[in-house]
Amino acid sequence: MEGNAMKKFSLLLIAAILGSALTIGTFKLIETDNSKSLKIEHISETPVVGAAYTVNQNGEVVPLQFTDVAKKVMPAVVNIKSTQLYRVNNREYQDPFRHFFDDDIFKHFFGPDFRFESPQPQQRGPQARVGTGSGVIINSDGYIVTNNHVIHNADDIEVTLDDNRVFKAKVIGTDPSTDLALIQIKEKDLPYVSLVNSDEVQVGEWVLAIGNPFNLNSTVTAGIVSAKGRNINILQDQSAIESFIQTDAAINPGNSGGALVNLKGGLVGINTAIASPTGAYAGYGFAVPANIVSKVVEDLLKYGMVQRGYLGLMIRDVDGNLAKEKGLKVTEGVYVDSIAAKSAAGDVGVKENDVITHVNNIEVETSAKLLEAIGRHHPGDEVMLKVNRDGKVKEFNVTLRNQEGKTNFSEKGSEDMLEILGVELEEIGKGLSRKLDIEGGLKITKLTIGKLSRHTAVKEGFIITKVDGQSVKTIEKLIEILESKEGGVMIEGVYEDYPGSYYYAFGL
């Protein structure tokens, strides 16, 4: 045995020496004979093309590769540049030298009434704030899904395709409650990504994140699905639905709105957020599931806004401590804390202290999963709730309602237009109308971030009397005029304490 081992070792040693000699000889040839043209050969295929292996549908063990899916999806992921224009007013200017002239030493020389008046700078023109993100083409006619925060309040949206073509985009609709937005570019026959059923995505499944982090276009990272139904309390909306797919594929600023896909190239979710103490990738990213994306896109195209059903319940997650405190018979599910007025679930028999465990036979272990399951439905849809009450299972058929407690669809109301303008308005009374010698108008009681604050110098207290020459006395009339407008808009009005009329122009 010892002789055989020595023999094998000698053969390996000889082979290694010969291999080294051949390698050295080749490099010597390249170094010493510069007069001859050299043929450099490349190995077209190596024995190992992947570090991991999987089993295909035929039961064959094959190397795990991401190249095919990356080639398939990258052309459908775009770079989005959104530009906000805003005006800097004189009142926002702070004189950096003012404090020098308020010093007592100047009052000593020039008297106690001394006051330095620094010259006011001229009003600066519109300033630009530029942000970037990603988007996913989901239709050959140029429909693109991205995050709402990528294009929120943008005055100009520019989309760059993977082949460097550039287009202007228009907003089809937004849904702050899921941080999704749908935009469109004017182009046909575009590559696109199909959505998959995100309910079938499994924890531990391989996924790729494709986007434009730090403006590094068409970046692909790989990871697995780390968890599902995550709620990280990042969306600042009253009706927020957070049931994120968590992944350890690297996601960074600029990935927002990009694609999370499976190894077949199907869209699993839209990358939205990261969990990080530094603002850059620190281990986990979060994506809106494709089933929520599908519902939002469908509603925006069909109704212009998301039509979402509600149960009318205040809820929280069940855990071991809550189960012990309330004497519950289960440690997973959604606890009914209280029941709202006009509650769809309450009216059919759901009670406080119930634990909801299933929606249409889909298990809901957390509030996030329940909100996701209900959020896919419209007002008027019927869902079956399975409830654990004192250890007994009960079932309730609930007809969902809108936020107003009705089963009909909501209409796109004035709140949307007023949010775009960034104002709160009130109709002025007859007394003030007579005092100002006007027929009526709408007083701006509060200015928020919107078209008026970013593009005009209008102040709170301004009374709108006309829009593009048409008199406005009611909020409904203002909305009616603006909803039929595209492009430039001129508003006319007065201030209660200033003489004359004032005019402000902005674009819709």
pLDDT tens-digit profile of 278-298? 888 888 999 999 999 999 999
Note the pLDDT tens digit of each residue in 225-258: 999 999 988 887 778 899 999 999 999 999 999 9
CA angle 279, 203, 273 (to 5 degrees): 20
Residue 112: predicted pLDDT:
52
Burial class (CB in 10 A: 0-12, 13-18, 19+), 487: exposed
Question: Which residues are CB-contacts of 415 (< 8 A; sequence separation ≥ 6)?
Answer: none
Amino acid in the structure at residue 212: N
The residue annotated as part of the active site, out of 82, 134, 149, 354, is 149
pLDDT, mean of residues 128-150? 94
User: Tell me, what's the pLDDT at 295?
Assistant: 95
Q: Can you give the pLDDT at residue 62?
A: 61
Q: Please state, in angstroms and rounded to a whole number, the distance separating the CA atoms of residues 228 and 202.
A: 8
The verdict on whether 149 is a catalytic residue reads yes
What is the amino acid identity at position 447? Answer: L
C-alpha to C-alpha distance for 467 and 361, rounded to whole angstroms? 53
Q: Which residues contact 488 (CB under 8 A, 6 or more apart)?
A: 505, 506, 507, 508
Give the rounded distance of the alpha carbon of 284 from its chain centre: 16
pLDDT at 29: 37
Q: What's the token pair of residue 261? A: 């896909």
Q: What per-residue string of b and e applies to 72-108 under the rule 16 or more CB within 10 Å gives b?
A: ebbbbbbbbbbebbebeeeeeeeeeeeeeeeeeeeee
Tokens of 14: 């000889």
Given this model, what pLDDT does residue 239 score?
83
Q: How far apart are CA 317 and CA 332, in angstroms?
A: 8
Residue 121 has pLDDT above 90, yes or no: no
pLDDT in tens, 72-110: 999 999 999 999 877 655 444 444 444 444 445 444 444
Instruction: Quote the CA–CA distance of 403 and 158 in Å, as a whole number.
Output: 35
pLDDT category of residue 9 using cuts at 50, 70 and 90: very low
Residue 116 has a pLDDT of 47
226, 256, 343, 453: which is the annotated catalytic residue? Answer: 256
For the chain, domains (ranges, CATH) are 70-92+126-306 (2.40.10.120), 313-399 (2.30.42.10), 414-507 (2.30.42.10)
Task: Look at residues 244, 361, 362, 364 and name the one whose alpha carbon lies nearest to residue 313.
Answer: 364
Q: What is the per-residue pLDDT for 17?
A: 40
pLDDT band at 50 (very low <50, low <70, confident <90, very high): very low
Pairing of strands 463-467, 488-495: antiparallel
- Decide: residue 271, CB within 10 A, 0-12 exposed, 13-18 middle, 19+ buried: buried
Report whether 349 contacts 396 (CB < 8 A): yes
The predicted model gives 410-433 an average pLDDT of 81
- Among 82, 175, 177, 179, the active-site one is 179
319 is catalytic: no
DSSP letter string, 278-321: SSS-SSEEEEEEHHHHHHHHHHHHHHSS----B--EEEEE--HH
Separation between Cα atoms, residue 100 and residue 215, nearest integer Å? 43
Q: What are the structure tokens assigned to 432, written together?
A: 């003030």
Q: How many CB atoms lie within 10 A of CB 293?
A: 24
Catalytic residue at 256?
yes
Measure the CA–CA gap between 177 and 255, rounded to whole angstroms. 19
pTM (global) more than 0.85: no
Average pLDDT for 451-464: 90
